[in-house]
Amino acid sequence: MSEEIDSDCPTDSPKKGPTLSTSTSSFEALDPHDPNLSRLANNLFSKTSDYLYGELTSTLDDYKLLENMNKATITKYSDMKHIALNVGKSILELNDKCDSLLPLLQQIDQVEDSVTKLEQAAYKLDVYSKRLEAKFRNLEKR
């Protein structure tokens, strides 16, 4: 299997031919480099650096967002805790007031029962007095 090498390809090194090599030992520090290859390598490293920076920055932003959400949640739960404590205190105060008013409410119920009985007695007395009056008129007419 033979490969054709295109001599017009810009990735060919003028000194050694094609620059794509599978060997990593072909780089010599004092050997002049292909400027196109150096530019492409720099571009690759720059783009890779930008990509990795963007990935890390987005991850950092996600963590900051989560941190802010956690802080907001902590604040909200703290507020809800204070509200619940205040509601609990108010319920206890209302229960104490209700307990202190209970004897008075019982007295009011007793007074209401007495008034109802007095009202019934007054109606009965009214009916009886009307009958007596009617009898008296009958006797007066005779």
Model confidence over 52-94: pLDDT tens digits?
Answer: 999 999 999 999 999 999 999 999 999 999 999 999 999 999 9
Count of domains observed in the chain? 1
Tell me, yes or no, whether 13 lies in a domain: no
Tell me, yes or no, whether 105 lies in a domain: yes
Tell me, yes or no, whether 12 lies in a domain: no
Tell me, yes or no, whether 134 lies in a domain: yes
Query: Which pLDDT belongs to residue 5?
Result: 44
Is a pLDDT exceeding 50 seen at residue 4?
Answer: no
Tell me, yes or no, whether 22 lies in a domain: no
Tell me, yes or no, whether 7 lies in a domain: no
Q: pLDDT for 122-134, tens place per residue? A: 999 999 999 999 9
Is a pLDDT exceeding 90 seen at residue 142?
Answer: no
Q: Which two tokens stand for residue 10?
A: 């810009």
Query: Which pLDDT belongs to residue 102?
Result: 94
Please give the residue range of the domain that contains residue 126. Answer: 36-141
pTM score: 0.46
Query: Which pLDDT belongs to residue 141?
Result: 85
